[in-house]
Structure 1
Amino acid sequence: MTYLSSRNGEDIESVYRTAEDMNYHSVCLHVLADSIRSAGLIMASWFLSLGIQNAEVLCLGLVSVAIFMLVMPLFKATGGILLQMTPPSIPNSALSKCWRQITAREDVLEVAQARFWELVPSHVAGCVSIQVKKGMDDRPILQFVHGLYHDLGILDLTVQTDEI
């Protein structure tokens, strides 16, 4: 797993290179959460021995916040995959540039739809629907489109061409 951050260090985003990275991270977080929970129980019993009332509630709140903060990056990454969101590793500006380059071709009338998502971490898939002029050979267009998106790291691409 790799961590990316902005210059000021505020935005931290986890990027998993493989599905196994995500699995290992979830196992590690599970063990760490169990350890934090055990430490919270020990701390609560110590606070109770000092006579602090509601020590269980205090420690339970601290443990809950700590575990939530630890698992949030995994939740965000998993949620992005399950919701089939556009991967954060591919900038929207790059996708827009590809869209413009395709529509700039003489034989292309319109790019009707373009959709990209992660199947598993670091494995992006996509589909594009293109309307081309009637009677045009679509093989050069298909090669061009596949080449554009291949350069972005989208290896599984379905291109549908419709003649108008």
Structure 2
Amino acid sequence: MTTSPEEEKTMAAIGRWASTALLLAGLAVVAGCGAGSSEGKTTFKDTHPLPPDTMTYATPEIGTYGGRFVIGQTSSPKTFNAIMANETSSTDATQLLFCTLWDFNNATQQEIPYLAKSYDLSPDGLTYTWHLRRGAAFSDGHPITADDVLFSFAVAYDSTLHPS
């Protein structure tokens, strides 16, 4: 279908008129939203102001032995094997079950020795030497040795078990 130049001008004029009408209607709606008196209206204030620039951390209190510990998660752990855990639901659970060589307290910014009492770092920064605590043992009473630590690292870095 072909249109004449006069028809094209008429359609363009109608389009401009319709656009202008829609714009004016939109402005009327927006202007109406703010109309009216403010009497009887409540002004809300932020009850949670921004914290000061200096962060402070609560010091946790030592609890009593026994009782129940409940942790909420959005999904069930896929494994309780700390070496094979590679998603949050499993690592959240295994962190509560197993001790590590070393930890870090985010609140105090302090390193925390666990199974290792100390470590040495080589001058080139590539080799750690961990000094295990005497008397560290598995839950069945068997002592934890350097071979157990080496095994854990070997499994954790085994590309056939963790291909990604």
Instruction: Please state which band the TM-score falls in when normalised by the shorter chain.
Output: under 0.3
TM-score, normalised with respect to structure 1: 0.21
- The structure whose RCO (Cα within 8 Å, separation 6+) is larger is 1
Question: Computing the radius of gyration over CA atoms, which structure comes out larger, 1 or 2?
Answer: 2
Q: Compare the two structures and name the one with the higher helix fraction.
A: 1
TM-score calculated relative to the size of structure 2: 0.21
Higher strand share: 1
